[in-house]
Structure 1
Amino acid sequence: MRSRAWWKVADQILSGLTLVGLSFVVAHSAEVGNFGVFGVALLASGFVLGLSRAMVSDVFLIQFSDVPARVRRHAAKEATGGAVLLGLVTGLLCCLAAVLLPGRDLGMAVFAIGLALPGLLVQDALRFVYIAAGRPGPALMLGLTGAAAQFTVVGLLAAADHDSMVPITFGWGVVALVTAALGCLMTGLLPSVGRARLWFALNRHLSVRAAVEHVLGLGALYLAYCLIGAVVGLSAVGSLWAAQMFLLPAYVAITATASLLSARFELRALQERSLLRPALLTGTGLAVVAVLWAVAISVVPDAVGMHLTGETWEGARTVLQPAVVGVVMLALATGPGLALRAWRCGDLLRQVALLQALLLLGLGLLGAQLHGVRGAAVGLVAAHVIGAGTLWALFLRESFLRGSGRRAEVPAQPLHF
């Protein structure tokens, strides 16, 4: 299980590097508004991919890692069928939304993502099938093959066409479909769409809560980006996404540490040992890493930034400082988040996530109305600060109650907002 956890983290790192690498390739040759179009397409695909991992890939890894191969293979057909069904439903929604979006380029880019979603989700699910079977090699090969093909196609199209994101987005989508077909050939699996509903029904005890957490977390942030783009313009989405590209190493460190330490926190909770010190060490340690990375970014010369991201560097630099503060808040919140999850305080975590989601949407849009993209970035950071502070307050209260021996007598109190 520890080995599978490491390979899951490695797969997430590879996916993140591929996504950000493609973004740098496009940003280098795209105009700011066009990069905003590409950013909206990436946000849509990233949201659905995270939803698929919550409802399909992660569930499969938890439920079917230590089962007989015959059982795992049968479940893999249902899981990949669930990924296809989810891709078809969300892809149809994207295609319908593309008709209503303003601007030909934006509509066509979202339409292309809608067509590519089934293949994108199946490819991701197949890699988790390999990891669950204890065969990370083919999973890595499938991921690297897809990444190489995406860089080749997107790089060539970006160099050939500077006026539209439509060919780039369609090319990226075609690569996702081809890679999914290659994955099916490698595994010898044919997704069973007919049994997809059975997959979701049998695993809803895990998938529903994970999906809600994803929607309230990244989903709310991505929606805030898109609404800010509607208020300020697509260039705002490009600026916000370009800033996130530079912060990828800090995000990777946070997510990887959370994945790897989750089991340790749960073990200490089962042993009824205090989680105060591990939470403090985890939160402050990750915050220090984020701050050090921020210092490294702050000394990047403008010439280097322009070389990496072209015209989008100016907008990225405008929102980079607030974005760094947001990452530091995310790092600080990792420790108490792991502790509350280990204590099975999922309801409190979801309430905090809901509070932060509402703040992201409200404060982000308010900042955009008042001071454009810079104000939007400050509003998003304010939401992260309030969310992290609330999480720490709840964790310290829970830790005090458990330490004083009164936890059994005092039920967890809901938030009121």
Structure 2
Amino acid sequence: MTNFAVGIFVARSVSVSDFGAYALAFSAYCLALGVSRALSAEPFAVRFVTNEPESLKQARAGVFGVALATGLASVALAALLSLVIPAEHRSLVLCLGFVLPGLLVQDNARQVLFTAGRGRSAFNNDLLWALLLIPAFAAVFFAGAVTAATLILAWGAAATVAGVVGCWQCRTVPSLKQVPSWLHSQRRLWPRYLVEGAAINGSQQATYFVVGAVAGLAAVGELKLVLVLLGPVNVLVQGVGVVAVPEATRAIAAGRKRFVRVMAMFSVLVGFGAFLWGLSVSALPVSWGVAVVGQGWLTASVLVLPLFLVQVLNGIKTGSAVGLRGMCAASTSMWTRVAASLISVASSVIGAATAGVQGAAWGLVAAAAINAALWQVQFRRVLATHSFPANEQGSSRHPVGPVSTERNRGPR
């Protein structure tokens, strides 16, 4: 919801072209976030649902250390990029780079808390971030310096404070010394997760850059405006995603039937939620859209239907993607993600070249339909050969007490 709020603020405060530049900067943040999660939080969620306190303490220090190291590397990269990009966008890149360490640490704190089953603590941390945005944004507006760069700076500064509090909640101090040992111990998972994250964010980045090259930054801004109003679906996806892998691991311990049912529930929840919200945005009067995100909605509104269909189809594959993670089928998941990303990029490129931004949007719909079927096929293939606990025949009850997730650790 904080991301949604920032998108609304920026959309109402800058031109459509500047909003397109903001969209590219936010995509870069998502790329850094994907790298950080692949290296740290996602392996942690698979292998440390339950573990001995001492090993958990060391693992958490490594996880936070990786997030901090990724953020610091992003700062250096932002500084280098600022030397070659146009002067009007330089401050945006520098501000984003400056707040990335705090953003990544806060995200890892959320992930670690949810993996430990401390959902209330994770919620309180995100609530703190949201509350801190009020004085942060107010300071920007009262100073009369409202730009995409200053709003991102305020947003990231609030996240940094929440990240520090998150470290306190986890009783963990980020340790850069633990980074090498963490990466070595999780070497069977994070390289594949990293490729997956690069494929996800790379395909999104490619779509934006292709549309920008073919139709201009204003077209990128139009895409982003629609995605802003469809943002509550991303809230749902992120909410499900942060708990899905730990819950998949627990469901595996309860048996095959329980696991399949939980994965189906994830798909229905996200897909149906996307459908309901997409219908709501489609029925929104144009004047209301203009009131929320500005005049750019007059041209962007034609993209609502294809983009909400993309979200529905992506929601349908949620259970399959999470299920592969839960079964530690890292190799299968990686190659499926790479194939799906290539399909998405190819479809958007063909669509953009044929019919501009609308063609790109409908190309993404076609790709999402193909990819949903691809993920389901791969999930069923791995499920047929996966080894479940011996008590799976006849009981779908939750296991009592902590469950071990150390079996089947090798990638498939």
TM-score, normalised to structure 1, is 0.78
Describe the superposition over 1:3-51 as per-residue Cα deviations: whole angstroms up to 9, x where unpaired. xxxxxxxxxxxxxx11111111221222111211221221111221132
Q: CA deviation at 1:236?
A: 2.2
CA 1:99 to 1:172, structure 2 compared with 1: closer, same or farther past 3 Å?
farther
Q: State whether structure 2 residue 156 is matched by structure 1 residue 168.
A: no
* Structure 2 match to 1:3: none
Q: Write the distance in 1 (CA, Å) between the matches of 2:328 and 2:170.
A: 36
Describe the superposition over 1:378-402 as per-residue Cα deviations: whole angstroms up to 9, x where unpaired. 2222222222233345567778999
* Structure 2 match to 1:406: none
1:276-287 to structure 2, matched below 5 A, reads 283=267, 286-287=270-271
Q: Write the distance in 1 (CA, Å) between the matches of 2:172 and 2:383.
A: 47
Residue of 35, 38, 41 corresponding to 1:57: 41
Deviates more, 1:187-196 or 1:48-57: 187-196
1:377-416 to structure 2, matched below 5 A, reads 377-394=361-378
CA 1:265 to 1:76, structure 2 compared with 1: closer, same or farther past 3 Å?
closer
Q: State whether structure 2 residue 61 is matched by structure 1 residue 77.
A: yes
Describe the superposition over 1:170-205 as per-residue Cα deviations: whole angstroms up to 9, x where unpaired. 333433444444545666643221332222122222
Percent identity of the aligned residues? 27
Do the aligned residues in 2 keep the contact of 1:30 with 1:310 (CA within 8 Å)?
A: no
Which structure 1 residue ranges, 4+ long, deviate > 6 Å from structure 2?
Answer: 274-282, 396-402
Query: Mind listing any 5+ residue stretches in structure 2 that lack a counterpart?
Result: 387-412
1:222-233 to structure 2, matched below 5 A, reads 222-233=205-216
Q: Write the distance in 2 (CA, Å) between the matches of 1:316 and 1:159.
A: 30
* Structure 2 match to 1:91: 75
Q: CA deviation at 1:113?
A: 1.2
CA 1:261 to 1:398, structure 2 compared with 1: closer, same or farther past 3 Å?
closer
1:58-207 to structure 2, matched below 5 A, reads 58-101=42-85, 103-132=86-115, 135-154=118-137, 156-157=139-140, 164-184=147-167, 189-207=172-190
Do the aligned residues in 1 keep the contact of 2:352 with 2:360 (CA within 8 Å)?
A: yes
Q: State whether structure 2 residue 203 is matched by structure 1 residue 220.
A: yes
Q: CA deviation at 1:317?
A: 0.8
Q: CA deviation at 1:282?
A: 6.2
Q: Write the distance in 2 (CA, Å) between the matches of 1:151 and 1:27.
A: 17
**2:188 is paired with a residue of what secondary structure?**
helix
Q: Write the distance in 1 (CA, Å) between the matches of 2:259 and 2:102.
A: 42
Q: CA deviation at 1:375?
A: 1.9
Q: CA deviation at 1:328?
A: 1.9
Q: CA deviation at 1:78?
A: 2.5
Q: Structure 1: which amino acid aligns with 2:27?
A: L
* Structure 2 match to 1:409: none
Q: Write the distance in 2 (CA, Å) between the matches of 1:201 and 1:149.
A: 37
Do the aligned residues in 2 keep the contact of 1:22 with 1:151 (CA within 8 Å)?
A: no
Query: Mind listing any 5+ residue stretches in structure 1 that lack a counterpart?
Result: 1-16, 403-417
Q: Structure 2: which amino acid aligns with 1:104?
A: A
Q: Write the distance in 2 (CA, Å) between the matches of 1:91 and 1:206.
A: 26
CA 1:185 to 1:398, structure 2 compared with 1: closer, same or farther past 3 Å?
closer
**1:190 is paired with a residue of what secondary structure?**
coil
Q: Structure 2: which amino acid aligns with 1:73?
A: K
Describe the superposition over 1:315-344 as per-residue Cα deviations: whole angstroms up to 9, x where unpaired. 431321110111121123234445555666
